[in-house]
Amino acid sequence: MSNFNVPTREEVSANNQAIFDNLKKAVGFVPNIYGAMAHSEHALGSYLQFSGAASSFNKKQKEVIDLAVSQLNECRYCQSAHTVTSKMNGFTDEQIIELRRGGASWDSKIDILAKTAVNIVATKGKIGDAALEEFYAAGYTKANVVDLIMAIGIITVTNLFHNVTDVAIDFPVAPAL
């Protein structure tokens, strides 16, 4: 267990206090992963700006990427948090498990998105032309490739942050696969 604590609102900078206040209004609480980022004067704000940036993917598609990559990166915090947010975005428990395994048998376009995300991470981006052609054949574009890489970067930052800090999971813990 890590000794990386989650600071209270009173223990962080004025800038991070304002972010905590906004998170509490928007989400109802400050998730531990965000709270722990507030040890840095700038990381939490930068992270939230990066993760909240516009994308060619909708919220449901971003959940596909987050679930598949968090499973591959073995991040229990993100598996748990994105199980909750994926349900909020319309996925069933069974679909969430399948997405964490890197596929989606019920939807070919979601399936290729999950598989391509896993492929990019597993090969460190060296997926080859055939994989890109399959992605494009499913209806995705070069803009989607760019946004997929950005989305992978965002969730990977969170995965690595939790895997290093091991802050307490403050969501219902996702089932192990």
The reported pLDDT for the residue numbered 1 is: 55
Q: How many CB atoms lie within 10 A of CB 45?
A: 17
Residues 123-158 as b/e (b if ≥16 CB within 10 A, e otherwise) read eeeebeeebeebbeebebeeebbebbebbbebbbbb
The reported pLDDT for the residue numbered 56 is: 98
87 band by pLDDT with thresholds 50, 70 and 90: very high
Domain locations along the chain: 9-51, 59-164
Q: CATH top-level class for 59-164?
A: mainly alpha
The reported pLDDT for the residue numbered 3 is: 79
- From the number of C-beta atoms within 10 Å of its C-beta (0-12, 13-18, 19+), residue 44 rates as buried
132-151: average pLDDT: 98
* DSSP 8-state code for residue 9: G
> Given CA atoms 75, 43, 84, 9 in this order, what sign does their dihedral have?
positive
Would you call 108 helix, strand, or coil by DSSP?
helix
Predicted confidence (pLDDT) at residue 125 exceeds the cutoff of 70: yes
106 band by pLDDT with thresholds 50, 70 and 90: very high
Provide the CB-side half-sphere exposure for 136 (13 A, CA): 10
